[in-house]
Chains A and B, each alone.
Chain A
Amino acid sequence: MALLSLHGIGKRYRQGEVEVSALQGIDLEIEEGEFVALVGPSGSGKTTLLNIVGGLDAPSEGRTELNGTDITTLKEARLSDFRLFQLGFIFQAYNLVPVLSALENVELVMVMQGRPAEDRRRRAQHYLDLVGLDKVMHRRPSALSGGQQQRVAVARALAAGPRLVLADEPTANLDSENATALLDIMHRLARKQKTTFIFSTHDQRVMERAERIVTLRDGKIVDDRRVEARHHEHAD
């Protein structure tokens, strides 16, 4: 069974007097462990689709099944718990809580999960080590570069042990070097932990690292193909 199944997802919203269709008839299945890029021009519906998959937004029609649960039927509070235990998020910007250190940011989701202090501290340190931030783990986000902040977000998303990580344009605010390094880390960890990743991008460098590219245009899937990853991992 696929980890994620989207059946006839549509999303419409009103913009003044006009009804805009952001997504139409999206059917998609993603298997466990896939490293999927959602690509397409601005306004093609990538972020809307990720929000629906993450339970942050409700579709106007269709069903989203994740790990056998139809999340479109879940009530607010259960959906919140579902996100906490099943999903990891990496956003384009403003990803971290500014008053917490890198280590505390990574721990935060595990605190909410109710993990014992020792376990979460150990996991947080381990994942920060994996993303190469063991030396700066006690710094607050304001003392970290954009690339380092996104790496903290990756560590936070993975340390909590999600089934699926959703990343909305994670490299959009990074320079080329940092973007490449971040993607390498994400890819390496995804492989190592067999965590499923879906990330939206219109960045060619990101696409090159994907194993499957789903192309959206005007709210519809116009292409879905598996590719051989062509990148060379950078040392991080």
Chain B
Amino acid sequence: MNSRHSHLPVAMLLMLAWRNIWRHWRRTLITLSSIAIGFALSVLMIGIGDGAHNSLIRNAIKLGEGHITVQPRGYLEAPANHKYLADGKALLAKLDALEVPGSVEPRIALQVLASTANNSVGAGLEGLSPRGDRRVDMLKPHLVDGAWIEPGDLRGIVIGAGMAGKLKAKVGGKVVLMAGKQGGDSQAQLARVRGIFDSKVDELDDYLILGDIALARRFLEGEGADPTLEPVTRFAVFLDDPDDMAAWKARLKAALESDRVAVLDWQEMMPQLVQFIMVDDAGNYIFLVLILIMVVFGILNTVLMSVLERTREFGLLRALGLARRQLLALVFCESLVLSLLAVTIGWIMGGGTHLWFSTHGIDIASLMGGGSTAMMGSFMDPVIRTELSWDRVVQLTLIIFGATLGSGIYPAIKAARVTPVQALRT
């Protein structure tokens, strides 16, 4: 004998725990099923939430200003047409030298007044490369009339259906774009509607005018910019791997930031979207907590019932010399085994459901009766595919595992309090 103290090897503990939980196999199966279903629901719900959010973010980034934006300092707080990056050429050369994995898209964003013979509306003129710019990729499929603008088209614009309605403008119609200059004067350019898009995102359809960057640059020339330096109002940086954003933001800040140039990420550019996702996530977490409560009571019920039924048996074990702490470990081990099983089955069910929905997706648009999936100035893809990051996998596993294990604490303490003489009397 090794010592004069009671031993209970882990293998024996696990074996006893395993056999004990299957003593009432129907009860255990019902408990495991309810936990696994709860877990699968959580995985699905979190997966849909993350899928929808990520879709919204991806589209917002494409429609917006990229993962990282290089723009004049102070523009975000107080946008104005005279705030631009005068030497766009030099900045682009620096960006090229950094070899950012992805693409860098020069853009000129201006606030203008768009007028036709019928009406005038405030608008945002976005000068960009008509081919290759991600915003073009996003909006081109929504073209409902006319054609897309061609590179070098110094008159052509594409407008949203909402704006076309307000201006009563048709394809081929004239639109005068007027912009205020610093000092109070104004300048204007004549444009022609080449095409009309209908993205179902009101913020875009009612406000956005897309034109070649050369058209927009004419307004900067009016502000005194030197066109040979290729002035822009911002560079939208799109990264191949969004996970690299923090690292690239730091590098771009170090290389480009000055008292005139600011480097911002999409979260800084779109704080309302971040806020919206946080609020939506909070709702998901509340649902998750409700599922956890269900799981905790499921396990508590099973383990506590099994403890109460075995009072005599615990008394016998204590009488034979099993130490209190070993009895505690035994009952806790039953919760542990139950937790491991629940998480494993939960992952098989939840993971399977996730895999299916991540491949086939959920047709949100048809669920919404074919309505718009627009939200927060962006839109979700009509078919949402569930997404689960490794962080989420670890987080969900730990939460469910912790909850199931935690629910075994009370029954374990209750079992350990059994005194042999009282237990054997029952």
**A→B interface (CB under 8 Å):** 51, 54, 56-57, 76-77, 80-81, 83-85, 87, 89, 91, 94-95, 97-100, 108-109, 111-115
Evaluate contact between B4 and A81: CB separation under 8 angstroms: yes
Contact with A along B1-25 (1 / 0, CB 8 A): 1111111110010001001100100
Q: Within 8 Å of chain A (Cβ to Cβ): is B124?
A: no
| A94 contacts B313, C-beta separation under 8 Å | yes
Give the complex CA separation of A81 and B321 in angstroms. 6
**A84 close to B316 (CB less than 8 A):** no
Interface residues on B, range: 20 to 34
Contact across chains for A89 and B4 when beta carbons are under 8 A apart: no
Interface string of B242-266 (1 = CB under 8 A from A): 0000000000000000000000000
Docked-complex contact B9 and A89, CB < 8 angstroms: no
Contact B20 A83 (CB under 8 A): no
**A-chain residues with CB within 8 Å of residue B6 when the two chains form the complex:** 80-81, 84, 112-113
Please tell me which one of the listed residues B2, B319, B324 contacts residue A114 in the complex, with CB atoms under 8 A apart. B2
Contact residue among A83, A91, A100, A112 (Cβ-Cβ distance under 8 Å from B7)? A112
Known: A80-B324, A81-B321, A108-B320. A99 touches B312 (CB 8 A): no
Q: Are B320 and A83 in contact (CB under 8 A)?
A: yes
A-B contact pairs, 10 of them (CB 8 A): A77-B324, A80-B322, A81-B5, A81-B321, A89-B319, A89-B320, A91-B316, A91-B424, A109-B321, A114-B1
Closest residue of chain A to B12 (Cβ to Cβ) is A111
Instruction: Return the contact of A112 from the options B313, B316, B320 (Cβ within 8 A).
Output: B320
**Which residue of A54, A97, A115 contacts B316 across the interface (Cβ within 8 Å)?**
A97
For the complex formed, measure the closest distance between the CB of A166 and the CB atoms of chain B, giving whole angstroms: 9
Q: Is B421 an interface residue (CB 8 A)?
A: yes
Docked Cα-Cα span, A95 to B320, in Å, equals 10
Let me know if A56 and B320 touch, CB within 8 A: no
Contact call B3/A54, Cβ cutoff below 8 A = no
* Chain B binding surface, main DSSP class: helix
- Contact assessment for B323 and A114 in the assembled complex, using a CB-CB cutoff below 8 Å: no
What CA separation (Å) do A115 and B321 show in the bound complex? 14
Assembled-state Cα–Cα distance A91/B424 (Å): 9
B355 interfacial contact with A, CB 8 Å: no
- Of A56, A83, A113, which is within 8 A of B1 by CB? A113
Contact call B323/A54, Cβ cutoff below 8 A: no
Instruction: Give A153's nearest chain B residue, CB to CB.
Output: B316
A51 to B23, CA, bound (A): 30
Query: Is B317 positioned at the interface, with any CB of A under 8 Å from its CB?
Result: yes
Q: Is A84 a contact partner of B320 (Cβ separation < 8 A)?
A: yes
A100 cross-chain contacts in B, Cβ below 8 A: 16, 19
Task: Quote the shortest CB–CB distance from A149 to chain B (angstroms).
Answer: 12
B55 to chain A, nearest CB (A): 51
Tell me the complex Cα distance, A63–B326, Å: 28
Minimal Cβ-Cβ distance residue in B for A94: B312
Asked if residues A99 and B324 are in contact (CB atoms below 8 Å), the reply is no
Q: Are A99 and B23 in touch, CB under 8 angstroms?
A: yes
The answer, among A76, A84, A99, for a CB contact under 8 Å with B19, is A99
Residues of chain A within 8 A of B73, CB atoms compared = none
B424–A85 CB distance below 8 A: no
B323 touching A77, Cβ below 8 Å: yes
A83 contact from B5, B8, B321, Cβ within 8 A = B321
